[in-house]
Structure 1
Amino acid sequence: MHAAVGARLTAIEPGRADAVMPGADGEPDAALEPALWLLADFVSGLAVTGTLGAGERITTLRLTLHVLRRDPAPGPLRAAGCLDERAPDVALSTAEIADAAGRTIARAHGRNAVLADEVATRTRPGAAPPWSDPPRSAAGLVTDRAAPDPLAVNYAGVVQGGVLASLPARALADVLGGPPDEASATFLRAVPADGRAVHTATEVEHGGRRLRSGRAVLCDNRDRTVLTLSGLRYVAGT
Structure 2
Amino acid sequence: MGDLTGKTALVTGSSRGIGRATAERLARDGALVAVHYGSDAVAAEDVVTCIEGAGGRAFSVGATLGVPGDVDVLFAGVEAGLDKYGAGEVSLDILVNNAGVMGGVPPEETTPELFDELFAVNAKAPFFIIQRALRIMPDGGRVINISSGLTRFANPQEIAYAMTKGAIEMLALHYAKYLGPRGITVNTVAPGITRNGHPVFDIPEAVAQMAALSAFNRVGEPGDVADVVAFLASDEARWVTGAFLDATGGTLAG
Same fold (TM over 0.5): no
TM-score by length of 2: 0.27
TM-score by length of 1: 0.29
Which structure: greater strand fraction? 1
